[in-house]
Amino acid sequence: MRLLLLAPPGAGKGTQGERLAAWSGARHIAAGDLLRAEARADGALGREIAAYQARGDLVPDQIVLDVLTPAVVEAAACGGYILDGFPRTLPQATAAAELAARLGVTLQAVVYLHAPQEVLTRRLLDRASQAGRADDVADVIRHRLRVYAETTGPLVPYYTERGILVAVDADQPPDSVTADIQAALSALPLTRLPTADIE
Ligand code: ADP
């Protein structure tokens, strides 16, 4: 399976990405996690990535492509990928599409998880009080949601026009979201879906 989870911060794409990877055998590739790992490494690049993430700004496209491309290529070669948080800008989407077309591993579907702004904000603040990520504080959360709307939002019409976007209501308990995603995917003419588990 080759899937992209497209969603604002707090919609649950990390949770759903892990579940879909376990269900399908494809690899879960979380852009934020890979970039945070890179940010923990010593050196100027790590410090630069950490600074963007702490502010809630997107990491520049070229850095993201350098970090993510090897992971996507490797996953595509062994069972597919569930992309979580990449592509997140139109330039990333066109670069990823060109690479995937060259390798013959283009996206089969984009699952768009949506929820009202106040639900997203409440979830992120709850997570902040439990685990505490540097970017889970009120003003940075507001900024991340604004960046999402301006920069990632245009990917919804982009993938809709390409006929591969399915929208799922993320304002439900995690199990219901998973069930809705699996039902939506089962309705698509995808190859190599684990259909036995859907029915
Ligand atoms: P969330 O979706 O809740 O913001 P992520 O872990 O997906 O959490 O992303 C956290 C941060 O990592 C983003 O605010 C941004 O700084 C960086 N990031 C993640 N994915 C990308 C991407 N595709 N392009 C640019 N920056 C990214």
Residue range 142-158, pLDDT digits in tens? 999 999 999 999 999 99
What is the distance in A from the centroid of ligand 1 to the CA of 53? 7
* H or E element that contains 113: strand 109-114
For ligand 1, atom 3: residue with the closest CA:
9
Q: pTM of the entire structure?
A: 0.90
User: Residues lining ligand 1, judged by CB closer than 6 Å?
Assistant: 9, 31-32, 35, 52-53, 56-59, 64, 85-86, 88, 92, 135, 144
For ligand 1, atom 9: residue with the closest CA:
32
pLDDT of 191 reads 52
What is the distance in A from the centroid of ligand 1 to the CA of 133? 12
Query: Atom of ligand 1 at shortest distance to CA of 92?
Result: 23
* C-alpha distance from residue 67 to each of 41, 47, 49, 59 (Å): 13, 14, 11, 11
CA distance linking residue 181 with residue 63, whole number of Å: 30
**Which residues does residue 83 pair with via DSSP β-bridges, in sequence order?**
4, 29
Which residues of the chain register pLDDT less than 70?
190-199
CA distance linking residue 156 with residue 28, whole number of Å: 21
When the pLDDT of each residue in the chain is averaged and rounded to a whole number, the result is 91
The residue type found at 148 is Y
Residues 6+ apart with CB under 8 A from 170: 7, 11, 12, 113, 114, 115, 177
Map residue 137 onto helix, strand or coil. Answer: coil
